[in-house]
Amino acid sequence: MREGQPSRTAVQNALFRALEARRPARRRVADDPLAVRFLTPGFRVVAGLARVRVAAAVIEAFIDHRWPCVRGGVVARTRLIDEKVAAELPQVRQAVILGAGFDSRAYRLPAMRQVTVFEVDHPATQAAKRQAVQRSVGGPAGQVRFVPVIFGADDPAAKLADAGFEPGAMTLVLWEGVTNYLVPEAVDATFTFLAGVLGSGSPVVFTYVHRGIIDGTAVFEGADTTLRAVRRVGEPFTFGFDPAQLGGYLAARGFDLEWDTKVSEAAADLYPAGKCPPVPAYYHVAGARRR
């Protein structure tokens, strides 16, 4: 991330969700009506233009050219994660959203209102999110706590404890769109910290990229262009998992891997036949559970 600036990729993800949200309900794969309110003024203009169908087609074609496969992947994973999170929330007392960016789930999913939600993020992104929440929904909902943390530098357990997190309680953890921007030590430290504070049975939903696009051992459509694009905005991909080794990695840290879905497979199920935009086959959403 660029010094003192909110994450560019977090802002872009909100734009992709806002563009999807303006489609008619019957053609929408994911619905995040708050995303547009979290946008920067410039991106809000883009989302406004996209209400005109032809303009939307041009904007989406431009995005898909610059960031091949990314927009469709963000939309598909939003829907998949919404469903997974909604299914888990009734069983937990609290939720932790790591690297929350402009995630609006704490404000739009009814089941999120029943639990304490800790939004954990880099201070620079979180400062922008706080302003966006204030501007768009009049301030954080009563159950939301903001916790500024730099993964790999801060102690998230101490910061969460200061914010009122209950160690040992059943907790939903969402870690979407973040592991690929961290060094391996920070990913390891985060799973280790989670194993230390989560109650047995707590679900962890997270995303990752196939390690092959980081170390050059695998080739996927759109990956090269996306790797160049994220480097250009100062947020290079630095970490990925080998899907074949993910279960063992998690088991060694006290978690059972329950499911692991390629975003491209989720998209193929979610989009109507013939309407699926390019979606990355290297991007995964996975679910694990604390033993």
State whether residue 283 is helix, strand or coil: strand
Question: Closer to ligand SAM at the Cβ: 181 or 283?
Answer: 181
Question: Closer to ligand SAM at the Cβ: 201 or 236?
Answer: 236
Question: Closer to ligand SAM at the Cβ: 8 or 22?
Answer: 8
Out of 94, 104, 125, 226, the residue judged to bind ligand SAM by CB under 6 A: 125
Closest contact distance (angstroms) between CB of 179 and ligand SAM is 9
Residue carrying the six token digits 């995005």: 63
Q: Between residue 224 and residue 263, which ones bind ligand SAM under the rule CB under 6 A? A: none
Out of 30, 34, 39, 100, the residue judged to bind ligand SAM by CB under 6 A: 100
Residue (of 11, 7, 39) closest to 181 by Cα position: 7
Query: Is residue 179 near ligand SAM by the rule CB under 6 A?
Result: no
- Could you say which DSSP state residue 277 is in? P
CA dihedral (203, 205, 208, 210) positive or negative:
positive
Q: Where are the alpha helices (DSSP H) in the chain?
A: 8-21, 41-49, 53-66, 70-88, 105-108, 123-137, 156-162, 184-197, 212-215, 223-232, 243-251, 263-270
Question: Closer to ligand SAM at the Cβ: 7 or 264?
Answer: 7
Residue (of 200, 197, 184, 205) closest to 249 by Cα position: 184
Which residue's Cβ lies closest to ligand SAM?
101
Out of 99, 203, 222, 277, the residue judged to bind ligand SAM by CB under 6 A: 99
Query: Is residue 94 near ligand SAM by the rule CB under 6 A?
Result: no
Question: Closer to ligand SAM at the Cβ: 39 or 149?
Answer: 149
Backbone angles phi, psi at 121, to 5 degrees: -160, 170
Backbone angles phi, psi at 204, to 5 degrees: -125, 120
Residues 9 and 28: their CA atoms lie apart, in Å, by: 22
Q: One symbol per residue from 129 to 158: x for binding ligand SAM (CB under 6 A), - otherwise; what is it? A: --------------------xxxx------
Residues in the site for ligand SAM, rule: CB under 6 A?
A: 1, 7, 9-10, 13, 99-101, 103, 121-122, 125, 149-152, 176-178, 181-182
